[in-house]
Amino acid sequence: MNSYGKIFKITTFGESHGTAVGVVIDGCPAGLAIDLDFIQAELDRRRPGQSKITTQRQEGDKVEVLAGIFEGKSQGMPITLVVFNEDQRSKDYSHIADKFRPSHADYTYQAKYGTRDYRGGGRSSARETLARVAAGAVAKQFLDTIGIKVTAYVSQVGDLALDTDYTKYDFSQIEANILRCPDATMAEKMIERIDETRKNRDTIGGVVTCVVQGTPVGLGEPVFDKLHAELGKAMLGINAVKGFEYGSGFEGVKMYGSQHNDLFYSEDGKIRTKTNHSGGIQGGISNGEDIYFRVAFKPVATIMQDQESVNEEGEAVTVSGKGRHDPCVVPRAVPIVEAMAALVMADFFLRNK
């Protein structure tokens, strides 16, 4: 339920306005040097208030270690990381306590559980993803030791889209702008679009592209646990995601087999493919080429506008749009996509070694 992975397995916990948000990482190999500063840096990439195009809410999000690290290294025991919530005072939530915000989880949680922590969305809040980013930062450090590198960037905002061919972009430029888009010119346009949207008290969707490099041949399983099926599940589990495609994706539908097939050749004793419509995965198993995929994010549901809705009794009410909001989720989603991809890759590496 709140766990992900089979060998490198994480369990997240915590509500948006509860005491803490955290994660237990079970199955991290013993003896891995863990750099806490790197974990903090990853959390900072996800942190609210980091730029003018993210929510202006300010949260420090300082990570603390409760268990599992001794003398700077993992011990093969569960690693527990937490971030204590700074702002736990009881605000007045009475204006939303019994109202269902449109396209949030308020209604489905209430119907399913008969109760819910209505403060800031409780557990359904995207704040939960900081636990994934912390765990992903550990997974990334493990992947470093085996040469696997995960890189994500913003490739679309609204209808402003980069070319789907990731090889055209210089990954070193991704963090050069607040959007995390490797094309500076497009980044500027996209930032402008988000800023406009913010001024309109609205939100807009986007796409994050992710590339996994250095994967050895043989990760993934036949049938149900195909590598891309797990990557897909991991991405679709991120708040606001509506779609996932890898390799040629939905565009590949339009191709003929004779165009789409990736022909094998041999290079320096290594078997390679001339093209990579397969997205680095064949029969569910990595073939050593780059793995790449795209993740579609809807416009986030919290907007600064009044909206019609109903309350728990089914009576018509107005949900008011106050406070601070994220006009576009993708800049902060980049580290989350990377974290989940890193967790999937670490897990499969350990399952299949």
Q: Which of residues 235-294 bind its own copies (CB under 8 A)?
A: 236-237, 242-250, 252-266, 269-271, 273, 277-279, 282-287
Q: How many CB atoms lie within 10 A of CB 72?
A: 10
Find where tokens 């041949």 sit. Answer: 217
Query: Is residue 120 a contact point for its own copies (CB under 8 A)?
Result: no
Nearer to its own copies (CB atom), residue 172 or residue 314:
314
Query: How deeply is 68 buried, as exposed, middle or buried, from its count of CB atoms within 10 A (0-12, 13-18, 19+)?
Result: buried
Query: Is residue 116 a contact point for its own copies (CB under 8 A)?
Result: yes
Task: Out of 94, 114, 167, 185, name the contact with its own copies by CB under 8 A.
Answer: 114
The interaxial angle of helices 36-46 and 129-144, nearest 10 deg, is 140
Task: Out of 120, 136, 182, 205, name the contact with its own copies by CB under 8 A.
Answer: 205
* Range in contact with its own copies (rule: CB under 8 A) among 40-48, 119-127, 140-148, 169-177: 119-127
Q: Measured between alpha carbons, how far is 319 from 305 in angstroms, rounded to an integer?
A: 8
Upper half-sphere CA count for residue 63 (Cβ side, 13 Å)? 29
Query: Is residue 26 a contact point for its own copies (CB under 8 A)?
Result: yes
Q: Measured between alpha carbons, how far is 202 from 151 in angstroms, rounded to an integer?
A: 29
Nearer to its own copies (CB atom), residue 54 or residue 309:
309
Nearer to its own copies (CB atom), residue 143 or residue 207:
207
Minimum gap (Å) between residue 172 Cβ and its own copies: 26
Minimum gap (Å) between residue 350 Cβ and its own copies: 10
Nearest to 61 by CA among 34, 39, 76: 39
Token output for 152: 């994500």
Minimum gap (Å) between residue 66 Cβ and its own copies: 5
Query: Is residue 59 a contact point for its own copies (CB under 8 A)?
Result: no
Query: Is residue 214 a contact point for its own copies (CB under 8 A)?
Result: no
134-193: contacts with its own copies (CB under 8 A): 156, 158-159
Q: Measured between alpha carbons, how far is 285 from 68 in angstroms, rounded to an integer?
A: 32
What is the side-by-side strand order in the sheet with 79-84? Answer: 3-4, 9-13, 20-26, 79-84, 63-67
Nearer to its own copies (CB atom), residue 73 or residue 168:
73
Task: Out of 142, 153, 297, 349, name the contact with its own copies by CB under 8 A.
Answer: 297
Nearer to its own copies (CB atom), residue 172 or residue 237:
237
- Size of residue set near its own copies by CB under 8 A: 136
Query: Is residue 92 a contact point for its own copies (CB under 8 A)?
Result: no
Residue 99 DSSP class: B
Task: Out of 34, 139, 300, 344, name the contact with its own copies by CB under 8 A.
Answer: 300
Q: Measured between alpha carbons, how far is 263 from 289 in angstroms, rounded to an integer?
A: 12
Residue 311 DSSP class: B
Q: Measured between alpha carbons, how far is 27 from 10 in angstroms, rounded to an integer?
A: 8
331-350: contacts with its own copies (CB under 8 A): none
Query: Is residue 40 a contact point for its own copies (CB under 8 A)?
Result: no
Task: Out of 37, 94, 185, 224, name the contact with its own copies by CB under 8 A.
Answer: 224
Q: Which amino acid is at 274?
A: K
- Report yes or no: 262 and 278 within 8 Å, Cβ to Cβ: yes
Query: Is residue 320 a contact point for its own copies (CB under 8 A)?
Result: no
Question: How far from chain centre, in Å, is Cα 277?
Answer: 24
